[in-house]
C-alpha cells in the first residue's frame, strides 16, 4: 500500500517538474547524427560533436564576420616576429563551470595534454602545430612556443579544438569521464547526455566574458539548450513542424523547399569553407594520366545547371580548389575552363581519343576511355555528372561502395577518380590534398588522391605555411591554386552547404565563420 502511494506521489512530482521545465525558455537543435562519441574538444574530430562542444567551451580568439581575429578569452596577443611563439594576455575573472579559475596554468595543462600521445587527440594535436611547450609568466599571461616558424597559429586558436578544459575536472576524474561530462568556460553548462537520444545544457549564470563580436555580454538569454539526435531526414522535418525541435540541421533540399514557403520557418544556407565536393583525378593511371582527358571533363560539365537541377537551386556549383568562403580563395578558377562540350570533344580528338568501335565511348591504343570512380556519398550528383560525360564519349564508371572498401581501393591505387570534400577555415587544408608526402600507399590512407608528386607544389605549400603576412600567404596560395587548375588535377563540383531550417520566432542565431556551426549564446525566442 505504502509503495503504491509513493509511486503516485513520484508521478505527481514528475508531472510538476516537467511543467516547470516547460516554463523555462528551451531551444532544441535537431541533430542529424546520433552516435556522438566524445564532448572533449581535445579529442573530437567531428563537426557534429563540435556543434555541442562550441556552446560549452570558449576560445582565446574568434573571427568576426569579415574573418578578422577578435578577442574572446584573450584580451590581447602578440605574435613573435619570427613566428616561433605567441603570447596571450587573458581577461581576468574567467571561471570554469566547476568554479575553478581559467588561468594561464589551465591553458598550459590543456595544450600539454593535447600534445601527450596518451590523450589520443584526433584533431587538436594537428591544429596545435609544431608545439614545443607553454611558458606561464603569471596568472593571466602565457606564451605558446613552437619548434619552427608557424604562420597558421592564429587559425588554430580560433577553433573549438584548442579551447581550455578544466584541469581540476580532468585530473580528478580522468579523460574517459571528461568525455561524457565536459567542463569548460562557455555560456552553457553541461547537464546530461543520454547516448543516442539527446544532450541537455543549461545557461551559465556566471558568464560575462563573451567574444568581442557577440550581440551581448552576460549570461545567455535562453535557459535550456537541448540537442535531440534525429538521424532520419523526414523525422527531423516532422519534429520541426510539430515544434518539438526549433532548429533542424542538414535538412534535405526537398524539405527546405517545403519550409521556405512557410511563414513559421526561416531557412539558412551557409556556404561552408574548405574544399568543396571535388572529383580528384588519378594522374598515375590510364586514362586520367592524360591531361587532355582531365581538361575535357571540365569543359564537358555544365555544373551550374547540374547542381541547380539536382539540389533544387539550394546548393551552388563549386568554382575553385577552395570553397568560395575560404580565406585565400582564388577566384580565377571561375570560368577557367568554361562549359563547352564542342571544345571538350575537340581536345579529346586532338589527343587521339576516337570512338573506333562505335560503342559511344572513345578509345585509344585499343583501350576504352573508361574512368572508375568509387564513391561513398553524392550518388545523385554523380549520376548526373556521369550522364553529361557520356555525351562527349567519356565513360565515368561510378560505384557506390562502403567506406572500408573505398579506403582499400585508394590505398592500393585501384581507382581513376575519387570524391573528396573538406570542412576547414584555413587554406592550409590544401597541404593535406596536394603534398607529395600525402600520396596514399598500401597501409597508408592519405588524401593526395590525384597521385601527383611535384616539388614545386611542395615548395609552395612550405612557403605558405611560414609566410609572415596574410597577403603573402594568399599570394602563394593563389599561385598554387592556379597551377593545379592548369594541370587539371581535380574537378570541383559543388560547394558544401549547411542547410538549416529554424522556427521564425527564434532570433539571434549566429554562425561561426568557415564551418557555419550555430552559436546559441545570443539566441532569443519570441512567443
Shortest reach from residue 89's CB to another protein, in Å: 31
298 SS3 class: helix
Please identify, among the stretches 132-140, 219-227, 235-243, 328-336, the one whose residues bind another protein according to the rule CB under 8 A. Answer: 235-243
Please select the residue that binds another protein; options are 27, 29, 38, 150, rule is CB under 8 A: 38
Site for another protein in 161-180 (CB under 8 A): 175-176, 179-180
Sign of CA dihedral 450, 455, 459, 460: negative
477 lines the binding site for another protein (CB under 8 A): no
- The answer to whether 420 touches 496, Cβ cutoff 8 Å, is no
Strands 247-248 and 26-31: parallel
Given the complex with another protein, which of 24 and 35 has the nearer CB atom?
35
Please select the residue that binds another protein; options are 75, 105, 206, 241, rule is CB under 8 A: 241
DSSP conformational letter for 85: E
Cell matching residue 436: 607529395
Site for another protein in 108-147 (CB under 8 A): 117-118, 120-123, 125-126
Closest to 381 in 3D by CA, of 230, 278, 453: 278
Q: At which residue does the C-alpha cell 551557409 appear?
A: 270
Closest to 40 in 3D by CA, of 156, 174, 138, 150: 174
Given the complex with another protein, which of 66 and 118 has the nearer CB atom?
118
Cell matching residue 182: 565536459
308 lines the binding site for another protein (CB under 8 A): no
Please select the residue that binds another protein; options are 235, 359, 380, 383, rule is CB under 8 A: 235
462 SS3 class: helix
Shortest reach from residue 382's CB to another protein, in Å: 17
Site for another protein in 182-221 (CB under 8 A): 194-197
Shortest reach from residue 196's CB to another protein, in Å: 5
Q: Which residues contact 494 (CB under 8 A, 6 or more apart)?
A: 276, 277, 303, 307, 311, 315, 316, 317, 318, 378, 381
Please select the residue that binds another protein; options are 222, 239, 292, 396, rule is CB under 8 A: 239
Please select the residue that binds another protein; options are 161, 188, 447, 452, rule is CB under 8 A: 447
Please identify, among the stretches 105-113, 233-241, 312-320, 490-498, the one whose residues bind another protein according to the rule CB under 8 A. Answer: 233-241
Shortest reach from residue 233's CB to another protein, in Å: 10
- The answer to whether 448 touches 434, Cβ cutoff 8 Å, is yes
Helix (H) or strand (E) holding 480: helix 470-487
How far is 520 from 506, CA to CA, in rounded Å? 10
142 SS3 class: strand
Which residues are near another protein by CB under 8 A?
A: 34-35, 37-38, 43, 45-46, 117-118, 120-123, 125-126, 175-176, 179-180, 194-197, 228-232, 234-235, 238-239, 241-242, 244-245, 402-405, 407-408, 422, 429, 432, 444-445, 447
Amino acid at each position: 500500500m505504502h509503495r503504491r502511494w509513493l509511486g503516485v506521489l513520484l508521478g505527481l512530482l514528475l508531472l510538476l517538474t516537467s511543467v516547470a521545465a516547460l516554463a523555462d525558455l528551451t531551444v532544441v537543435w535537431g541533430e542529424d547524427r546520433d552516435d556522438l562519441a566524445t564532448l572533449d574538444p581535445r579529442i573530437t574530430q567531428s563537426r557534429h560533436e563540435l556543434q555541442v562542444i562550441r556552446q560549452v567551451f570558449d576560445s582565446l580568439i574568434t573571427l568576426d564576420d569579415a574573418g578578422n581575429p577578435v578577442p574572446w578569452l584573450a584580451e590581447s596577443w602578440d605574435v613573435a616576429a619570427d613566428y616561433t611563439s605567441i603570447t596571450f594576455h587573458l581577461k581576468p575573472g574567467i571561471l570554469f563551470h566547476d568554479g575553478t579559475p581559467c588561468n594561464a596554468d589551465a591553458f598550459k595543462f590543456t595544450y600539454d595534454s593535447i600534445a601527450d600521445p596518451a590523450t589520443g587527440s584526433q584533431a587538436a594535436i594537428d591544429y596545435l602545430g609544431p608545439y614545443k611547450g607553454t611558458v606561464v609568466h603569471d596568472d593571466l599571461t602565457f606564451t605558446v612556443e613552437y619548434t619552427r616558424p608557424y604562420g597558421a597559429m592564429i587559425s588554430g586558436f580560433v577553433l573549438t579544438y584548442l579551447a581550455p578544459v578544466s584541469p581540476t575536472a580532468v585530473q580528478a576524474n580522468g579523460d574517459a569521464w571528461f568525455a561524457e561530462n565536459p567542463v569548460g568556460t562557455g555560456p552553457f553548462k553541461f547537464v546530461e547526455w543520454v547516448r543516442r537520444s539527446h544532450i541537455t545544457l543549461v545557461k551559465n549564470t556566471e558568464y560575462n566574458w563573451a567574444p568581442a563580436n557577440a550581440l551581448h555580454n552576460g549570461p545567455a538569454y535562453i535557459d535550456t539548450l537541448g540537442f535531440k539526435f534525429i538521424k532520419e531526414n523526414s523525422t527531423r522535418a516532422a519534429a520541426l513542424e510539430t515544434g518539438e525541435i526549433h532548429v533542424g540541421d542538414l535538412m534535405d533540399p526537398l524539405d527546405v523547399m517545403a519550409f521556405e514557403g512557410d511563414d513559421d520557418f526561416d531557412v539558412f544556407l551557409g556556404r561552408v569553407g574548405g574544399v568543396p565536393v571535388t572529383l580528384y583525378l588519378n594522374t598515375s593511371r590510364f586514362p586520367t594520366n592524360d591531361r587532355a582527358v582531365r581538361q575535357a571533363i571540365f569543359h564537358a560539365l555544365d555544373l551550374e545547371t547540374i547542381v541547380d537541377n539536382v539540389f533544387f537551386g539550394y546548393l551552388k556549383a563549386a568554382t575553385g580548389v577552395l570553397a568560395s568562403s575560404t580565406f585565400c580563395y582564388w577566384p580565377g578558377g571561375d570560368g577557367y575552363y568554361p562549359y563547352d562540350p564542342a571544345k571538350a570533344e575537340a581536345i579529346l580528338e586532338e589527343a587521339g581519343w576516337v570512338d573506333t568501335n562505335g560503342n559511344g565511348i572513345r578509345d585509344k591504343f585499343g583501350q576504352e576511355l573508361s574512368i572508375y570512380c568509387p564513391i561513398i556519398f553524392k550518388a545523385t550528383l554523380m549520376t548526373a555528372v556521369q550522364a553529361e560525360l557520356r555525351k562527349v564519349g567519356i565513360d565515368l564508371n561510378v560505384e557506390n561502395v562502403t567506406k572500408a572498401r573505398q579506403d582499400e581501393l585508394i590505398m592500393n591505387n585501384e581507382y581513376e577518380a575519387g570524391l573528396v570534400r573538406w570542412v576547414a577555415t584555413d587554406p592550409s587544408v590544401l597541404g593535406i590534398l596536394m603534398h607529395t608526402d600525402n600520396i596514399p600507399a598500401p597501409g597508408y590512407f592519405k588524401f593526395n588522391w590525384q597521385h601527383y608528386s611535384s616539388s614545386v607544389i611542395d615548395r609552395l605549400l612550405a612557403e605558405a605555411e611560414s609566410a609572415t603576412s596574410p597577403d603573402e600567404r594568399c599570394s602563394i596560395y593563389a599561385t598554387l591554386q592556379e597551377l593545379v587548375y592548369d594541370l587539371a588535377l581535380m574537378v570541383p563540383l559543388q560547394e558544401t552547404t549547411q542547410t538549416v531550417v529554424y522556427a521564425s520566432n527564434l532570433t539571434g542565431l549566429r554562425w561561426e565563420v568557415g564551418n557555419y556551426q550555430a552559436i546559441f549564446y545570443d539566441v532569443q525566442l519570441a512567443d
